[in-house]
């Protein structure tokens, strides 16, 4: 009985802190404002913007309802517990079961508080590049592509491959995926960095152990209107799309590569049906990269003023996947590890993501 009272007291205190951080009243006011906007006669004149607003309303309502529901459950539980006779063992057993369910439900909602960066709610653009290791590295990049597509499916994100470059013998040299869904960037930003694979190479006749590397870049998708680019600063190249994509892909110069000349940042798209669509997608990716680049520069300048050491995140090995002589996936930033390599490579990344978010928050 005393243990249950301690648990509900702890949960009530955590709930109080969470509600203060969330500022749900602000969300309620925003929801009312957006709903008023959606009732105007001209609302659906811009279909794309209207759909985005309706999605934002739905997300806000789901968030508010979830926290309102858990608040009622915790308060009701505290009242029932207070009125329960400590000798009523049957009731205490039932309350113990209910307590576990409420704790699990609350912890899932509490996890949302870890998404506190400006772009965490945004869609994500994830790019994989094969590193050193030849054909093995290109195969490893393809394995990572499959892993992230599986993760997206499990997480309920819509994933679309917008660019791939096939390897000469196997795998891929690079691939870019657009992942759409609430907090897609918040979830996937933990994957940014170098991923290392150790295994018996399927491409080595001597069956020797090989180490391969692949780089993963994750950026938030930024609304285009938030960043303006001077057309004079862009170099736009068109070329014939490669890889698998249907009969017309290899017969027209539909693929587009855009280079931002002042920074050297590039973006490529080949998987849309027309050159215009590929150009629009490549420009969206480019703008997102430039926004993030500017933010990183500001952080580096601030860190220099504070006297902190600056480390290029792209060059860091963040995680190792060992398939021989034993099975182990280990994140070097959080020390979280698991021997279930098959599950990880099939998209079970939740524990790694949560460990990273708790580490950096």
Q: How far is CA 276 from CA 29, 250, 282, in A?
A: 39, 16, 10
Does one domain contain both 247 and 100? no
Does one domain contain both 341 and 204? yes
Give 287: exposed, middle or buried? Use CB within 10 Å, 0-12, 13-18, 19+.
buried
Give the residue from 47, 80, 114 where a domain finishes: 114
The pLDDT, as a whole number, for residue 250 is 43
Does one domain contain both 128 and 73? no
* Domain interval for residue 72: 2-114
The 10s digit of each residue's pLDDT in 124-134 is 999 999 988 78
Does one domain contain both 108 and 12? yes
Does one domain contain both 75 and 126? no
Identify whether the C-beta of residue 179 lies closer than 8 Å to the C-beta of residue 123: yes
Give the residue from 114, 148, 176 where a domain finishes: 114
Q: What percent of the chain shows pLDDT beyond 90?
A: 46
Does one domain contain both 177 and 323? yes
The pLDDT, as a whole number, for residue 283 is 84
Identify whether the C-beta of residue 321 lies closer than 8 Å to the C-beta of residue 196: yes
The pLDDT, as a whole number, for residue 252 is 56
Place of tokens 């973006």: 267
Identify whether the C-beta of residue 212 lies closer than 8 Å to the C-beta of residue 195: no
The CB density around residue 109, as the number of other CB atoms within 10 Å, is 16
**Separation between Cα atoms, residue 320 and residue 337, nearest integer Å:** 9
Count of structural domains within the chain:
2
Give 9-75 as a DSSP string.
HHHHHHHHHHHHHHTHHHHHHHHHHHHHHHTSTTGGGSHHHHHHHHHHHHHHHHHHHHHHHHHHHHH
The token pair that represents 170 in the structure block: 């196997």
Handedness of CA 262, 264, 267, 268 (dihedral sign): positive
**pLDDT < 70 regions, the chain:** 223-227, 241-253, 272-273, 298-299, 301-316
pTM of this prediction exceeds 0.85: no
Note if the bond before 273 is cis, omega within 30 degrees: no
Does one domain contain both 143 and 49? no
Handedness of CA 73, 78, 81, 82 (dihedral sign): negative
The pLDDT, as a whole number, for residue 314 is 42
In 3D space, the residue among 148, 151, 176 whose CA is nearest the CA of residue 162 turns out to be 176
Does one domain contain both 109 and 164? no
Does one domain contain both 198 and 139? yes
Give 200-217 as a DSSP string.
E-TT-TT--EEEEEEEEE
The pLDDT, as a whole number, for residue 303 is 54
Q: Is 124 helix (H, G, I), strand (E, B) or coil?
A: strand
Give the residue from 114, 139, 172 where a domain finishes: 114
Query: Which residues lie closer than 8 Å to 109 by C-beta, 6 or more apart?
Result: 18, 66, 67, 70
The pLDDT, as a whole number, for residue 310 is 37
**Separation between Cα atoms, residue 191 and residue 334, nearest integer Å:** 12
Task: Output the domain CATH number for residue 104.
Answer: 1.20.58.410
The token pair that represents 236 in the structure block: 């736009």
**Separation between Cα atoms, residue 52 and residue 46, nearest integer Å:** 10
The pLDDT, as a whole number, for residue 270 is 82
**Separation between Cα atoms, residue 146 and residue 61, nearest integer Å:** 33
In 3D space, the residue among 216, 177, 196 whose CA is nearest the CA of residue 132 turns out to be 196
The 10s digit of each residue's pLDDT in 261-301 is 988 888 888 876 688 888 888 888 888 888 778 777 766 76
The pLDDT, as a whole number, for residue 301 is 64
**Separation between Cα atoms, residue 110 and residue 74, nearest integer Å:** 14
SS3 letters across 125-181:
EEEEEECCCHHHHHHHHHHHHHHHHHHHHHHCCEEEEEEEEECCCCCEEEEEEEEEC
Does one domain contain both 132 and 46? no
Does one domain contain both 107 and 18? yes
Residue 6's φ and ψ, nearest 5 degrees, are -65, -40
Measured N-to-C along each axis, helices 89-110 and 47-83 cross at an angle, to the nearest 10 degrees, of 150
**Separation between Cα atoms, residue 91 and residue 251, nearest integer Å:** 72
Does one domain contain both 129 and 75? no
């Amino acid at each position: 009985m005393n243990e249950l009272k301690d648990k509900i007291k702890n949960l009530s205190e955590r709930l109080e802190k969470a509600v203060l951080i969330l500022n749900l009243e602000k969300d309620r006011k925003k929801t009312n404002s957006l709903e008023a906007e959606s009732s105007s006669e001209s609302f659906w004149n811009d279909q794309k913007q209207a759909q985005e607003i309706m999605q934002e309303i739905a997300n806000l309502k789901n968030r508010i309802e979830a926290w309102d529901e858990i608040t009622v459950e915790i308060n009701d539980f505290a009242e029932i517990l207070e009125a329960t006779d400590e000798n009523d063992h049957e009731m205490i057993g039932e309350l113990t079961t209910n307590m576990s369910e409420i704790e699990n439900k609350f912890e899932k909602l509490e996890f949302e508080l870890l998404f506190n960066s400006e772009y965490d709610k945004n869609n994500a653009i994830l790019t994989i590049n094969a590193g050193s290791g030849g054909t093995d590295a290109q195969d490893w990049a393809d394995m990572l592509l499959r892993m992230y597509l599986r993760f997206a499916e499990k997480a309920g994100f819509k994933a679309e491959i917008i660019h791939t470059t096939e390897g000469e013998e196997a795998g891929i040299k690079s691939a870019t995926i657009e992942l759409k869904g609430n907090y897609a960037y918040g979830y996937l930003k933990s994957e940014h960095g170098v991923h290392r694979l150790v295994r018996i190479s399927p491409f080595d006749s001597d069956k020797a152990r090989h180490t391969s590397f692949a780089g993963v870049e994750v950026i938030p998708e930024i609304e285009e209107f938030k960043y303006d680019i001077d057309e004079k600063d862009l170099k736009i190249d068109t070329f014939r799309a490669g890889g698998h994509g249907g009969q017309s892909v290899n017969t027209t110069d539909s693929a587009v590569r855009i280079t931002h000349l002042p920074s050297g940042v590039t973006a490529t798209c080949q998987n849309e049906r027309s050159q215009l669509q590929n150009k629009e997608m490549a420009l969206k990716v480019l703008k997102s990269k430039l926004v993030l680049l500017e933010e990183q520069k500001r952080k580096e300048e601030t860190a220099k003023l504070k006297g902190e050491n600056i480390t290029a995140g792209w060059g860091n090995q963040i995680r190792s996947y060992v398939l021989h002589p034993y099975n182990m996936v280990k994140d070097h930033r959080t020390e979280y590890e698991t021997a279930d390599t098959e599950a990880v490579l099939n998209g079970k990344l939740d524990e790694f993501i949560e460990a990273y978010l708790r580490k950096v928050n």
